[in-house]
Structures are given as C-alpha cells and as structure tokens.
Amino acid sequence: MPSAAASEKGSESGPPQGSFCFRCIGCGSVTHLAAQDFRCAQCGNLLEITDPAWKSLDAATLKSVWRDRRASNAMLDRSGVWRFRELLPAPATEQQVVTLREGNTPLYELPQASRTTGVPRLYAKHQGLNPTGSFKDTGMTVAATFARQAGYRWVACASTGNTSASMAAYAARGGMRSLVLVPDGKISWSKLSQALDYGALTCQLRTDFDGCLRLLQELVRRAPVYQLNSINPFRLEGQKTLALELMEQLDWQVPDHVIVPGGNLGNSSAIGKALLEMREIGLMARLPKLSIIQAEGANALVRTLRETGGKRLVSVQAETRATAIRIGNPASWEKAVKVLQATDGACEQVSELEIAQAKAEIGAEGIGCEPASAVTLAGLKKLLHLGFVKREESVVLILTGNLLKDPDFTMDFHRGSLFQGTAHEGGSTELKPFRHPPVVLDATLDAVIQALDQAEKSDRTHSNA
C-alpha cells in the first residue's frame, strides 16, 4: 500500500497558503480544507476553488502584467498557466511549482473550414500542443504542485488516456509516483505508452472509464493517494487559463461562441468558471456562449438536459471511437449545467461519421487533432444548421488533443476500415473524398510519376464536383 511521505497532513489536502478556499457548488458551504475525495462534507457535492481577493483585482493592471510576462524568461512566466497566477491558488513558494512550461498554445484561423461552413471568423485554440499533447497539462501543473506541497508520495487518476499521460509526466517532474487506472483495451496505445515512459504504475482494468473512476474514489478513502482527476478543483483552476490566454490572443475582443468537447465535463466547467470570473473582474464586458458537444454514443449531458432539464444526471453506457470522451457518468455534470445556463450555451451531440469527417477536415488545415477534439467542428455545423450560431458571428473551437494521440483512428480512417463491420459502414462511403490512404509502389520513377498524375486527376475531379 502506498504511504504519504508527509503523514502529518492526514487525509486533508493541506492548508492553503494564499487566501483561497473551497466552496461547495451545491450548498455553498466554504472550507479551508478539502477531504481526499474533494466532496463537500455537508452535502457530498463537488467543490470549487475561490478567492475573495480575485474580485478586487484591477483589469487593466492584470492585462499589462500578463502581457509583460511574455517577454520574461523566469520559470513561472514561461508557463502559459502560471503567467496568469493572480487568478490561481497560490502555492507556498515558487519552488513548489511543477511545470513543463505548459499553455502558450496557438490560436489558428481555419481558412478551409471557414469556406465550407461560411463562418469567416472561425478559430481553433489548439490545446493539443501542450507538452504531453493535451489540454490536461494546464490543469495538471497546478494540481501536481499542490499534491507535492501537501507531501504526497503517490498521485492517481482514472483516465481515458490523456489525463494519465499528463499526470504521469507531472508526477515524474515533481518527484512523485503515479498510479494510473485505465479501461483495458479502450485507450489508444500512444497515450498508454506515454504513461509507461513517464514511469507510472499502469493498471489496465477490465471495466470502462466510469468503472475506473468509481474504484479510484474508493481507493482515495482507503489509501494516502492524491487524486488528480478533474474532480480535483486545482485541476480546473489551471484549465481556466485556456480562456484567459484565448482572450489575450483575441486582444480582449469577446468571441460570440466558444465550442468545447464534453466528456467528464471538467474542461467546460473550468472554461465557464474563467469566463464568469473574467466578467466579474471587468476583463470582459459580456460572455461568449459556451457550447458543449458530445459523441452520440456518450451523450449523458445531452440526455440529462433533454430528459430532466438538467436536474438529474442520466447516465449512459458509453460507446464511441472518440475514446477520450467515452464516458457515460460524467463527474462534473452539475458544474457544466451551471455553465451552460450562465452563458446561454447549447449542448449537442454528433455522430461517429460526423466526427470522422470533421477530424479529417481539421487535418486538412495542416494542424490535425484527435477524434474527441473534432466534435467541435462537427458540432459547429450542427449549431449552424439549428440557427444557434449565425454565420456572421465569431467562433472559437477548442481542440483538446494532438493528432498523434490516436494514430489507429487516423490510419483506419484513411485506409477505409474505421467503420468496417459497424452500423456506420453504409454511410461511410460519403467520407471517401476525405481519405488519403498510403499507396505501396515499386521503387521506380515511373510508378511515382503515375501516382502524382493520378492524385492531380482526382484533385481536379473533386474541385469541379
């Protein structure tokens, strides 16, 4: 059994060093200590971090301090998360910070998708360009910092792959051991291989993500391991910086829509929290609409809103090739419902075929992403169709993971085998124009020139179509 190095901290996550506190999202009770399961001792709901000092920050000063730090080489300023530290819980000392210089991700135009959707002001914030290839790093730097500060030897998470890769990396950097619980056979090899390389104790459990998370919740009550799932509110504080950085990149011009994938619903909750805090401080005058998109086969939030008006979670047995969001019992659903309500956002679902096409389209922009991220472009098309997004409005898609995170999906798609033997097989012929399968040739000049000619011909056919 793992043991906590600083046993005097007991089962608490350690006293906060700044003035921040934990507030229950259900009953609103405020505490300075959180139990290991990060649930309210009064009502059992999730906690969020807040700091009364944030309200009195001056917007103009913050903007100028954050901009100036971009020219600094100091460790904390090089991190695209800690650069915004005025809106983060403060660790005891700067030396405590575990960072891989996360954040600082680009905001791209999407010229081809702009043309096909008819939305000229369409952007993608690519969180897949973080150190371990996903948005998880922005939250992990904060949560790993507080885990180390509290003296934990072991950190742990349940994961569909990206959290485990990120946690294992930050644990390694922070001198901690990491325990990973992943569903056997249902995460991509590239994510699993990251956890192995970063030295995690990796357990492939014969269950799904929801089963892994349930087990982890029991484990943290029994063993002194620090849980780094997005139930951990420190994670969400770090993930808030995505929205701060985005606004800075847009010169503080508020976009009309931000569209994000929804799995366990931590990220949408974090972005929404940041938007509300920014408005309160005066960093932005109005809120963008934050919309959450799920895969049809993992649509717990969509069903929760449609069937109960957001009052009670409708769990589903999740199934999708976008394995990062193969989640049926999202932990942060209540936080996400509040965010949708506060920002007037929409929640939609997209099919496996729509996800595959959108992923290929983002790839064709020269940036690429993993399948779970592509739900954003697929979702945008749906929201345009529904009239929720207007073509003259500005839209930011949040791409959450790197193209290289799921090479099997990409290879199967281009070879035409992604939907073989599934219910989607018939419809998948429509995706043919988006496929670029490799061609195996004799090593002769003639063969390569012939391949070039053929590619030219097919390009011309498609551009005339």
Residues that bind ligand F0G (CB under 6 A): 134, 159-163, 230, 261-268, 324-325, 370, 372-373, 400-401
With beta carbons less than 8 A apart as the criterion, state whether 228 and 173 touch. no
Q: Report the nearest approach of ligand F0G to the CB of residue 262 (Å).
A: 5
Q: Give the torsion through C-alpha atoms of 233, 172, 8, 53, to 10 deg.
A: -30
Minimum separation from the CB atom of position 463 to ligand F0G (A): 32
Q: What minimum distance in Å lies between the beta carbon of 33 and ligand F0G?
A: 25
**Angle 140-254-110 from CA coordinates, rounded to 5°:** 75
Closest to ligand F0G by CB, 149 vs 159, is 159
CA distance 401 to 238: 16
Instruction: Report, in Å, the least distance between residue 314 CB and ligand F0G.
Output: 16
With respect to ligand F0G, which residue has the nearer C-beta, 117 or 400? 400
- As measured in angstroms, the least distance from the Cβ of 335 to ligand F0G is 10
Which lies closer to ligand F0G via its Cβ, residue 230 or residue 241?
230
Residue number, 91 or 401, with CB nearest to ligand F0G: 401
| Shortest separation between residue 144's beta carbon and ligand F0G, angstroms | 15
Our CB check for ligand F0G shows the closer of 69 and 289 to be 289
Give the whole-angstrom CA distance, residue 127 versus residue 104: 9
Q: Which is nearer to ligand F0G, 268 or 320 (CB)?
A: 268
> Is residue 395 a contact partner of residue 122, using CB atoms and an 8 Å limit?
yes
Nearest to 371 by CA among 336, 329, 413, 332: 413
Tell me how far, at minimum, the Cβ of 373 lies from ligand F0G, in Å: 6
Residue 242 or 418 with smaller CB distance to ligand F0G: 242
Q: Which residues contact 222 (CB under 8 A, 6 or more apart)?
A: none
From the CB of 455, what's the least distance to ligand F0G, in Å? 31
CB 362 within 8 A of CB 368: yes
Which CB sits closer to ligand F0G, 253 or 341?
A: 341
